[in-house]
Every structure is written in C-alpha cells, then in structure tokens.
Amino acid sequence: MRTLISIVAIVAGMTPAPASAAPLPEGSADHTAGSQILKHEGTGDLRADSESPPTEGKVPGMDVSSHQGDVDWKSAWDKGARFTYVKATEGVHYRNPKFTQQYNGSLNIGMIRGAYHFALPDRANGVQQANFFVENGGGWSPDGKTLPPALDMEYNPYGDTCYNMNQTAMTAWVKEFSDTVYARTKRYPAIYTSTNWWNKCVGGSVKFGDNNPLWIAHYSSRLGALPAGFDFHTIWQWQAAGLFPGDQNLFNGRFEQLQRIAAS
C-alpha cells in the first residue's frame, strides 16, 4: 500500500511524505517559530534583558503564536513594534485558535503583518501543507499591509533532525510548498530557518534566495553566516523574548522598504 501511495504521489508531481513518520502525540503542541532552534542552538550571547543589535536603518518587529494569547497590540505598538508574523498553521492538523485576534489586531493598530506555517515535512507533502496554510490564513494581497506568507523550516519536534529526509527530498519538499503558495497567492513565501539546520537538512542545490525572502533565526548580537542559497536576509529573529510579546525581530531596511515588500 505504501508503495502504491508513493507511485500515485510521484505521478501527481508531488514528493510523498516518508512512510516512517510516527503518529503525532495526542493533543500535539503548538510549535512556534524558533522553538526548536532555541532548544537545539540556545540563546548564544543573549539574555532577555540584553541590548538589541544596532537598529539604525532597521524596523523592529515581533512574531507570535497561540502561546501569547490575546496580544495587547497597542502596548507593542507604543513600544516601537511596526510589523509582526502570526502563526496560522502547523502540518495539516493545527490552526492557531488566536489567529484572528492576533492577525486582525496587529493590522488594526497599524502594523504590517503576515502569517507563517510551521512545517512538518514527514507528515504530508509540500503541496498539501501549502494548501492547508493558504486556506487557513496564509493568503496574501498587494495592499501594502500584508507581508509575504512565511514557511517555518526547523528542527523536527518529534524525532530525527531532518525528518528522516535527505537533502534532495527536503529541497523538493520546500520547492513544492513554495511553488504552491506562489500559484495560489502570486507571491513566493519567505523562508524562516537557521543556518545550521538549513545547511544540514536542505543545503544549497537550489538557490531559494532568488525568489524567497530570508527570515533568519540567530540569537546573538551579531548576525553571522547566512544559509546556503541566500545572499542577504530580509528579517532577522535575533532574540526569543524581550521588549515585545513573542520573539524579537528586525527588518533589514527602512519602514518605506517594508511597505514596498508588502505591496508588490
């Protein structure tokens, strides 16, 4: 049966999920952007009260999930946050129950916001997860207020670091997801990842940086090396906690540039 499923998926042009994926734990957790990176790579030289990296010419922002509950968006705005990513989905089984309050609330206070998907590549192929994401908050419109949809690629919360997939299979999975989001929204998704995880599990056989903005996770006062296939970064998640609810981010440019990314 598994062989037949694989043949059908290949004929349909999709990469089948590995057959070795274990069942999800009952009541599986809501994993956030960087939760597994923090677990595996630590906080570097940073503490919650650390000074931020140089912010001149940058735009401060944040990212949130259900863990933050109903976010006080006015407070975050008053403290200087100007953009946010909100978790929408995970795999093909989880929708953020706080998504509406977080996604609409950030917009209503004046922030530029976007949605992200926590990938579980061994649970379903890239097409299936991209469709689930787009249909549950991961859309995009050229309104100057919506960031590109984002794909969160990081350490497996349930087992093998690379989800029992080699670099060729993982690269194909990411490309499937990216191409499907583009077909449905006319916008390539940003890719959230860490350099260590990406270089180990995906590699540089495809230069995703040609189309996909990079949202890099690196908890340090200095950015460090970028993942293979990317020449520059768009957003840097530099701290897992701090001034704003959720993770702390910096957009690599001025607010006017951030607006342009949200409009084209």
Q: Looking at residue 83, which CATH number applies to its domain?
A: 3.20.20.80
Distance, CA of 209 to CA of 160 (rounded, Å): 26
Instruction: Tell whether 19 is covered by a domain.
Output: no
pLDDT in tens, 137-162: 999 999 999 999 999 999 999 999 99
Residue 193 φ/ψ, nearest 5 degrees: -170, 175
pLDDT in tens, 23-81: 665 445 679 887 887 888 877 665 555 556 777 889 999 999 999 999 999 999 999 99
Instruction: Tell whether 23 is covered by a domain.
Output: no
Instruction: Tell whether 134 is covered by a domain.
Output: yes
Q: Provide the annotated active-site residues.
A: 63, 152, 154
Number of domains in the chain: 1
Instruction: Tell whether 179 is covered by a domain.
Output: yes
Instruction: Tell whether 244 is covered by a domain.
Output: yes
The predicted model scores a pTM of: 0.89
Please check whether residue 236 is in contact with residue 194, taking contact to mean a CB–CB distance below 8 angstroms: no
Distance, CA of 179 to CA of 6 (rounded, Å): 20
Nearest to 64 by CA among 49, 76, 50, 48: 76
Instruction: Tell whether 87 is covered by a domain.
Output: yes
Instruction: Tell whether 123 is covered by a domain.
Output: yes
Q: Where in the sequence is the domain holding 205, given as residue range(s)? A: 35-44+54-262
What local confidence, expressed as pLDDT, does residue 17 receive? Answer: 53
Residue 187 φ/ψ, nearest 5 degrees: -145, 125
Please check whether residue 213 is in contact with residue 148, taking contact to mean a CB–CB distance below 8 angstroms: yes
Instruction: Tell whether 3 is covered by a domain.
Output: no
